[in-house]
Amino acid sequence: MMIKMKTKIMPPTYFMILLVLSIGLHFVFPIEKVVYQPYTYLGIVLIIFGAVLNIWADALFKKSKTPVKPHETPISLETTGPFRISRHPMYLGMTAVLLGVAIFLGSLVTFMFPIIFVVLMEAVFIPLEEKNLEKAFGRKYLDYKKKVRSWI
């Protein structure tokens, strides 16, 4: 007998776990410094970019009253704002923050976390979202998918 989970772990939870691990492991295992000042400050630019991208995309979802959770059926197809350059700007934003933190901290160990996040999103969430979007919007989504890349 299979029990259906009532709560599912969402991408922001994975993001936060990876963020905490990145910062924690930097201090526990600062294996090798690969980015030095003043270049580490470029990380701050990426962190701000990623945060703004997430807030912008989330605001568009709220404005159109479409669910942000990947397993829920969308009610509108977002194609404006950051969705003009990326089909998944929120994942792009979270990745930018993780990469920004890695650059800011500068240690080698931190650079594995943005990679883990991208692989996780590509393996678990993006296929589910794209299937839901195709089911909900059909040709309209397929046309959008041809014009706009998944990430950038």
What's the CATH code of the domain at 55?
A: 1.20.120.1630
How far is residue 98's CA from residue 37's CA, in Å, rounded to a whole number?
Answer: 18
pLDDT at 1: 37
Is position 41 within any domain? Answer: no
pLDDT at 5: 39
Q: Give the domain extent around 73.
A: 49-152
Cis peptide upstream of residue 38 (ω within 30 degrees of 0): yes
- Tokens encoding 14: 């994975």
pLDDT at 57: 97
Do the beta carbons of residue 81 and residue 57 sit within 8 Å?
yes
pLDDT at 101: 98
Three-class secondary structure of residue 88 per DSSP: coil
User: Which DSSP letter does residue 109 get?
Assistant: G
What is the total count of domains within the chain? 1
Is position 118 within any domain? Answer: yes
Low-confidence ranges of the chain (pLDDT < 70): 1-7
pTM beyond 0.85: yes
pLDDT at 4: 41
Beta-carbon count within 10 A of 7 CB: 6
Is position 91 within any domain? Answer: yes
pLDDT at 31: 79
Is position 97 within any domain? Answer: yes
